């Protein structure tokens, strides 16, 4: 009887855990989506005071600095780095920091933050295609249809009566950023499996920041010093912390 009562207590607690887990998952997705979406607005505001290059540098110098401080705690890989993974790590680091952020920051000097956020939806399309090619993942009919509709919608949204070269480079830069994101997402999957999610995030960010250091110039220090305390500074700090850390 005692064992039966203990079993009944376990079964009574199980639905509560499953319910909380069902709520936690979607809630976390919504929170991360909101933070990710706000990043486009923050970038649009920040590029009013910083060039795309200097915004990328400032954001990732702050992120990498904080990652290095926590590296002894969260940066130890689960296994030694394998030599054959070095090219993959290099590509992922370049795509995730320089490739993605330089393209997106430049694009938001031309297109609105809303359009940039919508056009970046090309990212999942590229992820699926690259996953099918390199990771041999299957693409079903429903997914193919959804990707086709997303592509058509993104193209329609990018159409504008102003077909000047400068305007066209804006949407194209967002699409390039989406492609860089897909390289990072697909390329980092085996790295996460071998070394862990946090160590991969830490060292990819640090290495990617090293790659963009040659872009550092005197204009960086001049623009950073002239940042307004109630405007550009706040947006740069928010970009460096919430979106970069959580998403």
Distance separating alpha carbons of residues 232 and 181, to the nearest angstrom: 25
Burial class, 157, CB count within 10 angstroms (exposed 0-12 / middle 13-18 / buried 19+): middle
- Region of residue 136 (left: phi > 0; alpha: psi -120 to 50; beta: else): left
Distance separating alpha carbons of residues 208 and 63, to the nearest angstrom: 11
What per-residue confidence (pLDDT) applies to 9?
Answer: 46
What per-residue confidence (pLDDT) applies to 54?
Answer: 95
Instruction: Spell out the residues 6+ positions from residue 235 whose beta carbon is closer than 8 angstroms to its own.
Output: 42, 43, 45, 46
What per-residue confidence (pLDDT) applies to 217?
Answer: 95
CA distances from 125 to 62, 132, 178 (A): 30, 11, 9
What per-residue confidence (pLDDT) applies to 158?
Answer: 58
What per-residue confidence (pLDDT) applies to 30?
Answer: 73
Domain count, the chain: 1
CA distances from 178 to 53, 157, 171 (A): 18, 15, 11
| C-alpha count within 13 angstroms, C-beta hemisphere, residue 60 | 31
pLDDT tens series, the chain, 247 aa: 444 344 444 444 444 556 666 776 677 667 766 777 778 888 888 888 999 999 999 999 999 999 999 999 999 999 999 999 999 999 999 999 999 999 999 998 988 777 777 777 777 778 888 888 777 777 778 777 877 777 777 666 656 545 555 677 888 888 899 999 999 999 999 999 999 999 999 999 999 999 999 999 999 999 999 887 766 677 677 776 755 555 5
What per-residue confidence (pLDDT) applies to 244?
Answer: 59
What per-residue confidence (pLDDT) applies to 204?
Answer: 96
What per-residue confidence (pLDDT) applies to 85?
Answer: 96
CA distances from 43 to 19, 186, 224, 232 (A): 37, 25, 15, 9
Q: What is the domain range of residue 199?
A: 2-246
What per-residue confidence (pLDDT) applies to 236?
Answer: 77
CB 173 within 8 A of CB 56: no
Q: What is 116-172 written as a DSSP string? A: HHHHTTHHHHHHHHHHHHHS-----HHHHHHHHHHHHHHHHHH--S---HHHHHHHH
What per-residue confidence (pLDDT) applies to 94?
Answer: 97
What per-residue confidence (pLDDT) applies to 18?
Answer: 62
CA distances from 20 to 8, 24, 225 (A): 19, 6, 47
The candidate with the shortest Cα–Cα distance to 179, out of 146, 205, 154, is: 154
What per-residue confidence (pLDDT) applies to 10?
Answer: 42
What per-residue confidence (pLDDT) applies to 162?
Answer: 53
Distance separating alpha carbons of residues 168 and 172, to the nearest angstrom: 6
């Amino acid at each position: 009887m005692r064992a039966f009562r203990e079993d009944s207590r376990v079964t009574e607690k199980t639905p509560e855990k499953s319910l909380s887990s069902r709520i936690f998952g979607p809630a976390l997705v919504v929170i991360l989506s909101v933070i990710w979406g706000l990043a486009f607005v923050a970038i649009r505001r920040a590029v009013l005071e910083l060039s795309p290059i200097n915004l990328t540098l400032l954001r990732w110098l702050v992120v990498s600095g904080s990652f290095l401080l926590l590296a002894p705690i969260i940066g130890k890989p689960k296994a030694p780095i394998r030599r054959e993974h070095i090219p993959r790590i290099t590509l992922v680091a370049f795509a995730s920091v320089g490739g993605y952020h330089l393209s997106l920051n430049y694009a938001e000097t031309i297109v609105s933050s809303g359009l940039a956020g919508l056009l970046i939806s090309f990212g999942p399309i590229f992820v699926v295609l690259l996953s099918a090619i390199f990771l041999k993942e299957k693409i079903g009919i429903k997914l193919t249809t959804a990707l086709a509709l997303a592509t058509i919608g993104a193209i329609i949204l990018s159409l504008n009566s102003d077909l000047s070269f400068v305007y066209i480079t804006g949407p194209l830069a967002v699409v390039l950023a989406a492609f860089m994101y897909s390289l990072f997402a697909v390329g980092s999957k085996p790295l996460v499996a071998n070394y862990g999610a946090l160590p991969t995030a830490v060292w990819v960010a640090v290495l990617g920041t090293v790659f963009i250091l040659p872009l550092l110039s005197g204009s960086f220090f001049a623009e950073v010093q002239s940042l307004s305390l109630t405007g550009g500074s706040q947006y740069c700090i928010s970009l460096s912390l919430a979106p970069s850390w959580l998403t």
